[in-house]
Structure 1
Amino acid sequence: MKPTTSRGIAIAAILALLVVTLVSCVAFPHDGGHGPEANVPGAWALTSGEDGAVALTLGNYAWSFMDGSERRVEELRQIDPQKRRVDELAQVSVAEEPTITVLFDERPLWAYARSWDEEELAVGSTTDSSLFWRLRTPLDTVSSVGDEAPSTFEDGALTFDAEPGRRYAISTIYERGFSGNDRIEYVFTVQK
């Protein structure tokens, strides 16, 4: 066989595969959706002296819901709150140390706040030492909890005094009848 004939056969085979792939994509029915969505409830931050509420960034969650007569659980495991980039988070701007009230779309059983210093997080994200990278996992395990922010959870709302320059994660637990441990985390940063 001549080299040009082999090349022609290879090109014809590739074209045949492309045509078969294209026809199968167009001709075969597709399930356009994933079924019912979990409809994970959101949370909003109100600061003292401000009129508007800021929608908080949804973090990690495990949320159960019914799909007809079947119980389903949707889980989202994202990056931990202290490892996210600041520009990915909801920004709450304040002039001084405000009192923040977090309101929820659905009433949780329980909620609490943790926080991290943004400057310390920024320094940790730019550290390139090989020793640091070897110690990173144990250090992350220790620092991942954050500092507890003294808060009050009353009448379905969480209230606490915030500090500018800190990142906050609000952890919640919901009771949903067939699953008593639905968890949602909301994340935001407080800037001056």
Structure 2
Amino acid sequence: MIIDAHSHVHVPVEDHIALLDEAGVDKTVLFMSRPRARDLAALRQEMDLLHQALAGGGGAGHETAWRELDAALTAYPDRFIGFGSVPLDAPDVGALVERDVVGRGLRGIGELTPPPDQAALLEPVLRAATDHDGLPVVVHGARTHHRCRPAHPGRFGAPLPAGAARGVPARRRALDGRHRAGP
């Protein structure tokens, strides 16, 4: 079995399935958001929305991304492995993981992008993932604004909570789950 570990919703979804078939890919991990840009101005706007979504930001774009993800997962549950995003600065990340990720039947959390030098924002997400049998978490790295050098070497938050990387059995269970649309 070949699993693509990183993809975003493409519309129409049938085109995405055709590309997977052409490449010989059996399943893909599917994240919220999709490419829409047709020119440079639209690309810049899309990248701003993508960065907001990756950071778990809300707004109309975020709701649209949830609807598109739910629709793709419902249409092709045997081809897509859904992951959902949560706001990194939310006061109760655990409740959001319960409602928006576990409640929807998604199999992981991500793709998350903490701002440069703020990786500690991931700790509540990692704890919530641990509380839900070690859900996989995908973090999108971001280049710092200091020519790829960390502004504060060694300051990347607390160590992972115990059990955050539980290993293969939890990941296998994640891949075997089924999606439930909506919260």
After TM superposition, the score normalised by the length of structure 2 is 0.23
**Greater RCO (Cα-Cα under 8 Å, separation 6 or more):** 1
Give the number of the structure whose residues are more often strand, by fraction. 1
